[in-house]
Amino acid sequence: DSLFSGVPTAPVDPILGVSMAYKQDTSPQKVDISVGAYRDGDGKPYVLKCVFEAEKRLLGAPKEYLPIDGIPEFNKLSAKLLYGDAMNGKEKRMVTVQTLSGTGALRIGVIFIRKYLPAGTTVYISRPSWANHHNICKESGVPSAEYTYYDPQTKGLNFQGMMNDIKNAPSGSVFVLHLCAHNPTGVDPTPEQWNQIAQLMKEKRHIPFMDCAYQGYASGDLDRDAYSARLFLNSGFEMFSAQSFSKNFGLYGERTGALTIVTHNEKYIPAMLSQLKMDIRAMYSSPPTHGARLVQTVLSDPQLTKLWVDELKVMSGRIKDVRKKLMDAIVQRKVPGTWNHIVDQIGMFTYTGLNPQQVEILVKKYHIYLLASGRVSLAGLNDNNINYVADAIADAVA
Ligand code: PMP
Q: What is the 3-state secondary structure (H, E, C) of the chain?
A: CCCCCCCCCCCCCHHHHHHHHHHHCCCCCCEECCCCCCECCCCCECCCHHHHHHHHHHCCCCCCCCCCCCCHHHHHHHHHHHHHHHCCCHHHHEEEEEEEHHHHHHHHHHHHHHHHCCCCCCEEEEECCCCHHHHHHHHHCCCEEEEECEECCCCEECHHHHHHHHHHCCCCCEEEEECCCCCCCCCCCCHHHHHHHHHHHHHCCCEEEEEECCCCCCCCCHHHHCHHHHHHHHCCCCEEEEEECCCCCCCHHHCEEEEEEECCCHHHHHHHHHHHHHHHHHHCCCCCCHHHHHHHHHHCCHHHHHHHHHHHHHHHHHHHHHHHHHHHHHHHCCCCCCCCHHHHCCCCEEECCCCHHHHHHHHHHHCEECCCCCEEEHHHCCCCCHHHHHHHHHHHHC
Residue 331: pLDDT band (50, 70, 90) is very high
Mean pLDDT to the nearest integer, 84-110: 97
Atom of ligand 1 nearest to the CA of 182: 3
Buried b (16+ CB within 10 A) or exposed e, 205-236: ebbbbbbbbbbbbbbbebeebbbbbbbbbeee
Give the pLDDT of residue 235: 97
Nearest CA to ligand 1 atom 2: 213
CB of 211 shorter than 6 A to ligand 1: yes
Q: Is 102 in the pocket of ligand 1 (CB under 6 A)?
A: yes
What is the ipTM, given to two decimal places? 0.99
Q: Which residues are tagged catalytic?
A: 130, 211, 247
> Is it the case that residue 339 has pLDDT exceeding 90?
yes
**How would residue 240 be classed by pLDDT, with cut points 50, 70 and 90?**
very high
Q: 249 C-alpha vs ligand 1 centroid, how far in Å?
A: 13
Confidence of residue 134 (pLDDT cuts 50, 70, 90): very high
Q: What is residue 14's predicted lDDT score, i.e. its pLDDT?
A: 76
pLDDT of residue 35: 85
Contact by Cβ (8 Å): 25, 368:
no
Task: Tell me the CA–centroid distance for residue 332 and ligand 1, in Å.
Answer: 34
Rounded to an integer, what distance in angstroms lies between the CA atom of residue 94 and that of residue 292? 19
Report the separation in Å between the CA atom of 184 and the middle of ligand 1, taken as the mean of its atom positions: 11
pLDDT of residue 246: 98
User: Could you tell me the distance, in angstroms and rounded to a whole number, from the CA of residue 203 to the centre of ligand 1?
Assistant: 29
Closest residue by CA, ligand 1 atom 6: 213
Q: Tell me what pLDDT residue 11 has.
A: 86
pLDDT at 209 over 90: yes
Q: What pLDDT band is residue 189 in, cutting at 50, 70 and 90?
A: very high
Q: What is the mean pLDDT of residues 306-327?
A: 97
Query: How does pLDDT run across 247-302, given as a tens digit for each residue?
Result: 999 999 999 999 999 999 999 999 999 999 999 999 999 999 999 999 999 999 99
Can you tell me which atom of ligand 1 is nearest the CA of 252? 15
Q: Is the CB of 129 under 6 A from ligand 1?
A: no
- pLDDT at residue number 392: 97
Question: For ligand 1, what atom is nearest to the CA of residue 242?
Answer: 10
- Residue 139 CA to ligand 1 centre (angstroms): 17
Per-residue b/e over 370-391, b at no fewer than 16 CB within 10 Å? bbebbbbbbbbbbeebbebbbe
Report how far apart the first and last C-alpha atoms of the chain are (Å, whole number): 53
pLDDT digits over 11-69, tens only? 888 778 888 899 999 999 999 999 889 999 999 999 999 999 999 999 999 999 999 99
Nearest residue CA, atom 12 of ligand 1?
Answer: 102
Percent of the chain past pLDDT 90, that is, above it, reads 96
Q: What is the rounded distance in angstroms from the CA atom of residue 221 to the CA atom of residue 230? A: 14
Residue 186 is predicted with a pLDDT of 95
Out of 99, 123, 130, mutate this one to test ligand 1's pocket (max ligand atoms within 8 Å of CB): namely: 130
CA distance 28 to 383: 16
pLDDT band at 177 (very low <50, low <70, confident <90, very high): very high
Ligand 1 closest atom vs CA 245: 16
Kindly tell me if the per-residue pLDDT of 104 is higher than 90: yes
